């Protein structure tokens, strides 16, 4: 860059070596700007963390973020750029294999759900169009404000005939409790309208245009791993926790970190906070950082879901014998399953039991994993009988609410929070920038939201310093 010798390059500190922080660091480095990344844990990737060398047949599963939508362009393009391949899970699966739904003690078929969907689609779509997403604290319609101030469950009761007492209503209630990791009576109705309303009339999808099409072949955490290795050696410092951030003279920031038994301060011209707000709220003193009142309110009030993942391996993929694709929804306690071994070699099969809300929060003790698995299987047997298939003893439980570096699975908006502060999460405060999926307007809660936010913050920094 011309004139670089006349202008000292700013000292940039990124806090957090998850997908957001590493994407930002990688893009800055590709633009000729070095930075320092401080990570509180002993590894990169955050909630992007694959399970290897555990399940039989060398099958891989995911502790955290798992699926990538076809519209998640930022993570797809970044994966391609660094040499990773995506596997199309929808193409791999046979079209005749369908999800199974089970409510009120009996099956509720996909065809029945599709028929019920046709009858309510016009009202769902009208709400979607009247809201005119995105809904933000400084941009919302009258209908957006109305829906933000009623719950998902109230909306289901208004839109679906017989509400949560109907099969479709029960299906949506369970689905969105797991999708956002919270009871539906605590969530803003906009959570369901923005997904369900984006779907097509003649192709029922519980989450609308969110198709969960891709997974990175070989495990998603190869993405943060390759980003880390692409950075200059020594860029990332591990086991270093941020304790406080304060704005000091000359618009610099003083950051205080703890590493083992040592506390040290670092001065920075530019800071990127790429850690969950749940951690920022409880573990970091930011009283003197100069943040706006609305930013502080978002940090303090944005909720995290209580999603839990239970990966269970069976001796066969027995669900496929009855034309099920591994996806089930029910109200008999286990909530949701999907297949985690789709497209992988071997005869064994992995089912992922996804739970959220109060049920997800109850899966909170690793010592009880065998009991959790046995309870799950006994309930699943009512939906898909196993016949000769067995659990082979392999299972992994991930309770992200109990992880000190996340304190939850991913963020969601409670009643009234879209119009209260949605959108402020990603706004910079002076020379302090914010990344992470919680700052993404369109992809909050997705890996793509983390990647997109890292890309955005890099561009914002480059515009600021050039």
Q: Which two tokens stand for residue 405?
A: 């570096």
For residue 98, pLDDT over 70 is answered with: yes
For residue 214, pLDDT over 60 is answered with: yes
**β-bridge mates for residue 349, sequence order:** 314
Integer angstrom CA distances of residue 230 from 176, 258, 261, 448, 455 = 38, 26, 30, 20, 16
pLDDT digits (tens, 9 = 90+) for 344-366: 999 999 999 999 999 999 999 99
pLDDT digits (tens, 9 = 90+) for 170-206: 999 999 999 999 999 999 999 999 999 999 999 999 9
Residue 435, annotated as binding a ligand: no
Gap between the Cα atoms of 196 and 184, Å rounded: 14
Q: For 287-295, what is the mean pLDDT?
A: 98
pLDDT at 6: 52
Gap between the Cα atoms of 48 and 64, Å rounded: 6
pLDDT at 3: 43
pLDDT digits (tens, 9 = 90+) for 109-129: 999 999 999 999 999 999 999
For residue 319, pLDDT over 80 is answered with: yes
pLDDT at 8: 81
CATH T-level topology, domain 110-198:
Guanine Nucleotide Dissociation Inhibitor; domain 1 (1.10.405)
Find how far residue 215's CA is from the centre of its chain. Answer: 14
Q: For 325-333, what is the mean pLDDT?
A: 97
For residue 95, pLDDT over 80 is answered with: no
Q: For 6-24, what is the mean pLDDT?
A: 93
pLDDT at 96: 78
CATH T-level topology, domain 6-85+219-291+429-465:
FAD/NAD(P)-binding domain (3.50.50)
Q: Provide the mean pLDDT of the chain.
A: 97
Nearest to 350 by CA among 340, 363, 358, 361: 340
Same fold, 6-85+219-291+429-465 and 110-198: no
Q: End-to-end CA distance of the chain, in Å? A: 9
pLDDT at 163: 98
The fraction of the chain above a pLDDT of 70, given in percent, is 98
Q: Which residues contact 415 (CB under 8 A, 6 or more apart)?
A: 148, 149, 150, 151, 186, 187, 188
For residue 142, pLDDT over 60 is answered with: yes
For residue 5, pLDDT over 70 is answered with: no
Residue 87, annotated as binding a ligand: no
**β-bridge mates for residue 230, sequence order:** none
Q: For 23-46, what is the mean pLDDT?
A: 98
Q: For 81-86, what is the mean pLDDT?
A: 98
Q: Taking the domains of the chain in order of start, what are their residue ranges?
A: 6-85+219-291+429-465, 110-198
pTM exceeds cut of 0.85: yes
Gap between the Cα atoms of 79 and 23, Å rounded: 11
Long-range contacts of 251-255 (CB under 8 A, 24+ apart): 251/430, 251/431, 253/13, 253/289, 253/431, 253/432, 255/13, 255/15, 255/38
Gap between the Cα atoms of 447 and 451, Å rounded: 6
Q: For 446-466, what is the mean pLDDT?
A: 98
Nearest to 353 by CA among 322, 393, 396, 394: 396
For residue 466, pLDDT over 90 is answered with: no
Q: Which two tokens stand for residue 395?
A: 């299972």
pLDDT at 1: 40
For residue 4, pLDDT over 50 is answered with: no
């Amino acid at each position: 860059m011309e004139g670089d010798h006349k202008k000292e390059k700013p000292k940039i500190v990124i806090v957090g070596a998850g997908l957001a922080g590493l994407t930002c660091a990688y893009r800055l480095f590709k633009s000729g700007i070095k930075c320092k990344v401080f990570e509180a844990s002993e590894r990169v990737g955050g909630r992007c963390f694959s399970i290897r060398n555990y399940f039989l047949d060398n099958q891989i599963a995911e502790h955290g973020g798992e699926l990538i939508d076809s519209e998640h362009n930022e993570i797809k393009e970044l994966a391609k750029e660094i040499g990773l391949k995506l596997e199309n899970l929808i193409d791999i699966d046979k079209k005749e294999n369908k999800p199974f739904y089970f409510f009120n003690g009996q099956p509720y078929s996909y065809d029945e759900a599709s028929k019920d969907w046709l009858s309510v689609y016009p009202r769902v779509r009208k709400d979607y169009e009247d809201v005119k997403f995105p809904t933000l604290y400084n941009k919302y319609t009258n209908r957006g404000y109305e829906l933000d101030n009623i719950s998902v469950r109230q909306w289901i009761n208004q839109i679906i005939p017989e509400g949560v007492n109907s099969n479709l209503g029960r299906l949506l209630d369970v689905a969105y409790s797991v999708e956002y990791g919270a009871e539906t009576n605590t969530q803003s109705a906009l959570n369901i309208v923005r997904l369900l309303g984006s779907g097509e009339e003649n192709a029922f999808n519980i989450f609308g245009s969110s198709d969960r099409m891709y997974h990175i072949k070989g495990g998603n955490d190869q993405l943060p791993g390759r980003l880390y290795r692409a950075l200059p050696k020594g860029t990332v410092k591990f086991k270093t926790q941020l304790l406080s951030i304060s704005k000091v003279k000359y618009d610099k920031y003083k950051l205080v970190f703890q590493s083992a038994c040592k506390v040290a301060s670092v001065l920075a011209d530019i800071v990127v906070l790429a850690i969950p707000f749940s951690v920022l709220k409880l573990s970091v003193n930011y009283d003197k950082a100069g943040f706006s009142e609305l930013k502080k309110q978002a940090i303090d009030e944005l909720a995290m879901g209580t999603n839990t993942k239970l990966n269970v391996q069976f001796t066969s993929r027995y669900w496929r014998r009855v034309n099920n694709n591994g996806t089930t929804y029910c109200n008999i306690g286990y909530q949701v399953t999907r297949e985690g071994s789709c497209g992988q070699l071997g005869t064994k099969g992995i089912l992922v039991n996804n739970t959220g809300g109060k049920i997800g929060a109850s899966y909170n003790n690793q010592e009880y994993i065998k009991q959790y698995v046995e309870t799950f299987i006994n309930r699943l047997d009512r939906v898909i009988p196993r016949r000769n298939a067995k659990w082979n003893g392999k299972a992994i439980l991930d309770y992200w609410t109990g992880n000190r570096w996340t304190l939850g699975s991913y963020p969601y908006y409670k009643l009234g929070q879209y119009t209260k502060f949605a959108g402020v999460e990603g706004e910079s405060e002076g020379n302090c920038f914010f990344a992470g999926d919680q700052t993404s307007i369109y992809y909050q809660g997705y890996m793509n939201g983390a990647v997109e936010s890292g890309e955005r913050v890099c561009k914002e920094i480059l515009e600021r310093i050039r």
